[in-house]
């Protein structure tokens, strides 16, 4: 029977999903957590397993060398930079991922972050429960400026499935949609207007990031690009933390150049206690949960099981080590 090990299954399934479909494929050992850094424990837990299922536990050359039985590494996510894919390919180890599962949840969360900036619902709820409304001299109050989105321009960087989904929601809110993408397409043109990156920076009242992380766009939101933006621009990032220069964004928030930011991702995760954004003005930070609704995680489970079945049947799909 094929031996399968899940090294960090808790974030995918904290108990509200079932592993039964995976268990039907072999002898399965599931660990809630293993490590987010290279450690001997990773190889120890893999042992002689043929299939390794991971979320954020890294699989390095050293680990693969210690575990010669590995034939398949299945990532419970879209991103696979935690695996040394070049060496995996040399070793004949297939790496598969889940390329499309969170379009609805991630775009919905991005808009939720924007709406929280516009209305500060969480703050005002706490204020009411603290007695501030009951003791108010006026029949209503608000502690932050409230923002109406209709007529404002949203600039979406990365206009693939998620970006276009967000664009449709923004359009329904009455926003003007402009977008930058290296691969413009007709589906996108039905939703918004493709513009250059510099034009997007100059025109957008709200800038959201939905692009893949590459060597070229790492740190793309920095003091130089921020200088091109409107004063008081709103920044939303629930793509990859490395897309922004965190100190430059912190400085821009504190100066008011960026009016507010809402971030579901940071450069190093979990966030470090000394991250400058934690002390920035008007900055909402959530713990990388855009992807995490149950419906979205169920799709990850289903696609991962299908990936493993396809590999076992000799017709692998979603392979990133071609």
DSSP string, 6-53: ESS-TTT-SSSS--HHHHTTSEEEE-S---SS--HHHHHHHTT-SEEE
Q: Which tokens in the block code for residue 14?
A: 């904290």
Structure confidence at residue 38 (pLDDT): 87
Q: Which tokens in the block code for residue 282?
A: 């008007």
Count the Cβ atoms, other than its own, within 10 Å of residue 244. 27
* Cα angle 133, 139, 141; round to 5: 60
Q: Can you say whether residue 274 is alpha, beta or left, with left for phi > 0 and alpha for psi between -120 and 50 degrees?
A: alpha
Which CATH architecture does the domain made up of 103-285 adopt? 3-Layer(aba) Sandwich (3.40)
Ordered per-residue pLDDT tens for the chain, 322 residues = 999 999 999 999 999 999 999 999 999 999 999 988 889 999 999 999 999 999 999 999 999 999 999 999 999 999 898 999 999 999 999 999 999 999 999 999 999 999 999 999 999 999 999 999 999 999 999 999 999 999 999 999 999 999 999 999 999 999 999 999 999 999 999 999 999 999 999 999 999 999 999 999 999 999 999 999 999 999 999 999 999 999 999 999 999 999 999 999 999 999 999 999 999 999 999 999 999 999 999 999 999 999 999 999 999 999 999 8
In angstroms, the CA 159 to CA 200 distance is: 13
Name residues whose C-beta falls within 8 Å of residue 310's C-beta, 6 or more positions apart in sequence: 316, 317
Specify the 3-state DSSP secondary structure of 262: strand
In angstroms, the CA 11 to CA 287 distance is: 12
Domain with CATH 3.40.50.720 in the chain: 3-101+294-312, 103-285
> Phi/psi at 147 (nearest 5 deg)?
-120, 130
Structure confidence at residue 36 (pLDDT): 86
Q: For 67-217, where are the alpha helices, taking DSSP H only?
A: 85-91, 103-119, 121-129, 161-172, 186-189, 197-203
Long-range contacts of 120-126 (CB under 8 A, 24+ apart): 120/144, 120/146
Name residues whose C-beta falls within 8 Å of residue 292's C-beta, 6 or more positions apart in sequence: 11, 105
Cα-Cα-Cα-Cα dihedral sign, residues 17, 18, 19, 24: negative
Structure confidence at residue 37 (pLDDT): 86
Structure confidence at residue 196 (pLDDT): 98
Cα 5 from chain centre: 25
By CB atoms closer than 10 A (0-12, 13-18, 19+), residue 176 is middle
pTM of structure? 0.94
Give yes or no for a contact between 114 and 262, defined as CB atoms under 8 angstroms apart. yes
Numbers of helices and strands, H then E, in the chain? 12, 12
Active site residues: 240, 269, 288
Under CATH, what is the fold of the domain 3-101+294-312?
A: Rossmann fold (3.40.50)
Q: Which tokens in the block code for residue 196?
A: 């250059």
Q: Which of 89, 99, 11, 16 has its CA nearest to residue 56? A: 11
Q: Which of 276, 295, 278, 297 has its CA nearest to residue 286? A: 278
Structure confidence at residue 150 (pLDDT): 98
By CB atoms closer than 10 A (0-12, 13-18, 19+), residue 92 is exposed
């Amino acid at each position: 029977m094929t031996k399968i090990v899940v090294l960090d299954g808790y974030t995918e399934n904290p108990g509200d999903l079932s592993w039964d479909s995976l268990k039907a494929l072999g002898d399965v050992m599931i660990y809630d957590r293993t490590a987010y850094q290279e450690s001997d424990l990773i190889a120890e837990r893999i042992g002689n397993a043929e299939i390794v299922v991971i979320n954020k536990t890294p699989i390095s050359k050293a680990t693969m060398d210690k575990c010669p039985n590995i034939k398949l590494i299945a990532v419970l996510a879209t991103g696979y930079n935690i695996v040394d894919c070049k060496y995996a390919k040399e070793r004949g180890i297939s790496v598969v991922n889940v390329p499309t599962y969170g379009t609805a949840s991630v775009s919905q969360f991005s808009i939720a972050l924007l709406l929280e900036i516009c209305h500060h619902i969480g703050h005002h709820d706490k204020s009411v429960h603290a007695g501030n409304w009951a003791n108010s001299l006026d029949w209503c109050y608000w502690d932050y400026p409230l923002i109406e989105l209709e007529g404002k321009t949203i600039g979406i960087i990365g206009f693939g499935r998620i970006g276009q989904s967000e664009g449709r929601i923004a359009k329904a809110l009455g926003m003007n949609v402009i977008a930058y993408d290296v691969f413009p397409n007709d589906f996108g043109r039905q939703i918004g207007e493709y513009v250059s990156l510099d034009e997007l920076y100059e025109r957008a009242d709200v800038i959201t990031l939905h692009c893949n992380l590459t060597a070229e766009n790492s740190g793309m939101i920095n003091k130089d690009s921020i200088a091109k933006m409107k004063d008081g621009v709103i920044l939303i990032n629930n793509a990859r933390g490395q897309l922004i220069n965190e100190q430059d964004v912190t400085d821009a928030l504190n100066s008011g150049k960026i009016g507010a930011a809402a971030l579901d991702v940071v450069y190093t995760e979990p966030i470090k206690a000394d991250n400058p954004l934690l002390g920035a003005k008007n900055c909402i930070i959530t713990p990388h949960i855009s992807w995490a609704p149950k419906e979205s995680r169920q799709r990850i489970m289903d696609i991962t099981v299908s990936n493993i079945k396809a590999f076992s049947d000799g017709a692998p799909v979603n392979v990133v080590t071609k």
